[in-house]
Structure 1
Amino acid sequence: MKRNALHATLLAIAIGLGVGKAQAADYRENPYTLAYEGAITGNVAGEVNIHPVSYTLNGLRIAANVYTPPNYAPGSKYPAVVVAHPNGGVKEQVAGLYAQRLAAEGYITITADAAYQGASGGQPRNVDKPAFRIEDILGMADYITRYPGVDTTRLGLLGICGGGGYSLSAAQTDKRFRAVATISMFNSGRVRRNGYVDSQLQTIQQRLQQASAARAQEAAGGQVLYSGDANLTDEQIASLPFDLYRQGYEYYWKTHAHPGSTFKYTTSSLLDLMRWDATDQIELIDQPLLMIAGSKADSRYMTEDAFAKATGTKDKELFTLEGATHIETYWVPRHVDAAVAKLTTFYGRTL
Structure 2
Amino acid sequence: MKFSVLNAMLITAMAGFSTVTSAADYRQNSFTLVYDGAIKENIAGKVNIHPVKYDLHGLQITANVYTPANYDPAKKYPAIVVAHPNGGVKEQVAGLYAQRLAEHGYITITADAAYQGASGGMPRSVDIPSNRIEDIHGMADYISQYPGVDTSRIGLLGICGGGGYSIKAAQTDKRFKALATLSMFNSGRVRRNGYEDSQISTIQQRLQVATDARAKEVATGKIEYSGDADLSDEQIAKLPYDLYRQGYEYYWKTHAHPNSTFKYTTSSLLDLMRWDAESNMDLINQPLLMMAGTKADSLYMTQSAFAKATGTNNKELYLINGATHIETYWVPQYVDQAMSKLDIFFDKNI
The answer to whether the Cα contact below 8 Å between 1:11 and 1:26 also exists between their aligned partners in 2 is: no
The answer to whether the Cα contact below 8 Å between 1:294 and 1:300 also exists between their aligned partners in 2 is: yes
The answer to whether the Cα contact below 8 Å between 1:288 and 1:316 also exists between their aligned partners in 2 is: yes
Equivalent position of 2:17 in the other structure? 8
| CA shift for structure 1 position 329 | 0.1
Q: Secondary structure at the match of 1:330?
A: helix
CA distance in 1, matches of 2:20, 2:95: 19
The answer to whether the Cα contact below 8 Å between 1:101 and 1:340 also exists between their aligned partners in 2 is: yes
| CA shift for structure 1 position 11 | 3.0
Equivalent position of 1:38 in the other structure? 37
Equivalent position of 1:78 in the other structure? 77
Equivalent position of 2:5 in the other structure? none
The answer to whether the Cα contact below 8 Å between 2:25 and 2:34 also exists between their aligned partners in 1 is: yes
Equivalent position of 1:222 in the other structure? 221
> Map of 1:286-325 to 2, 5 A cutoff?
286-325=285-324
**Residues 289 and 4 from structure 1, CA distance in 2 versus in 1: closer, same or farther, beyond 3 angstroms?**
closer
| CA shift for structure 1 position 343 | 0.3
Equivalent position of 1:343 in the other structure? 342
Equivalent position of 2:66 in the other structure? 67
The answer to whether the Cα contact below 8 Å between 1:114 and 1:120 also exists between their aligned partners in 2 is: yes
Deviates more, 1:190-199 or 1:220-229: 220-229
The question of 1:51 aligning with 2:43 is answered no
The answer for unaligned runs of 5 or more in structure 2 is 1-11
Equivalent position of 1:234 in the other structure? 233
> Map of 1:173-192 to 2, 5 A cutoff?
173-192=172-191
> Map of 1:46-195 to 2, 5 A cutoff?
46-195=45-194
Write the deviation string for residues 28-57 of structure 1: whole angstroms up to 9, x where unpaired.
100110010100000001110000000000
The question of 1:328 aligning with 2:337 is answered no
Q: Aligned partner of 2:333: which letter?
A: R
The answer for unaligned runs of 5 or more in structure 1 is 16-23
| CA shift for structure 1 position 327 | 0.1
| CA shift for structure 1 position 222 | 3.0
Write the deviation string for residues 262-291 of structure 1: whole angstroms up to 9, x where unpaired.
010000000000000001111100000000
- TM-score, reference length from structure 1: 0.95
CA distance in 1, matches of 2:16, 2:150: 40
The answer to whether the Cα contact below 8 Å between 1:7 and 1:258 also exists between their aligned partners in 2 is: no
Q: Aligned partner of 2:315: which letter?
A: K
CA distance in 2, matches of 1:4, 1:170: 28
For the aligned residue pairs, the C-alpha RMSD in angstroms reads 1.0
Equivalent position of 1:205 in the other structure? 204
The answer to whether the Cα contact below 8 Å between 1:10 and 1:254 also exists between their aligned partners in 2 is: no
The answer to whether the Cα contact below 8 Å between 2:227 and 2:264 also exists between their aligned partners in 1 is: yes
Equivalent position of 1:256 in the other structure? 255
Q: Aligned partner of 2:17: which letter?
A: A
Q: Aligned partner of 2:63: which letter?
A: A
| CA shift for structure 1 position 231 | 1.4
- TM-score, reference length from structure 2: 0.96
Q: Aligned partner of 1:9: which letter?
A: S
CA distance in 1, matches of 2:151, 2:164: 23
CA distance in 2, matches of 1:288, 1:73: 28
Paired-residue identity, %:
73
CA distance in 2, matches of 1:297, 1:344: 22
**Residues 5 and 152 from structure 1, CA distance in 2 versus in 1: closer, same or farther, beyond 3 angstroms?**
closer
CA distance in 2, matches of 1:296, 1:202: 27
| CA shift for structure 1 position 8 | 2.0
Q: Secondary structure at the match of 2:319?
A: strand
Deviates more, 1:90-99 or 1:228-237: 228-237
**Residues 257 and 81 from structure 1, CA distance in 2 versus in 1: closer, same or farther, beyond 3 angstroms?**
same
The answer to whether the Cα contact below 8 Å between 2:181 and 2:291 also exists between their aligned partners in 1 is: yes
Write the deviation string for residues 224-264 of structure 1: whole angstroms up to 9, x where unpaired.
00000011111011000000000001100111000000010
Equivalent position of 2:244 in the other structure? 245
Q: Secondary structure at the match of 1:229?
A: coil
Q: Aligned partner of 2:79: which letter?
A: A
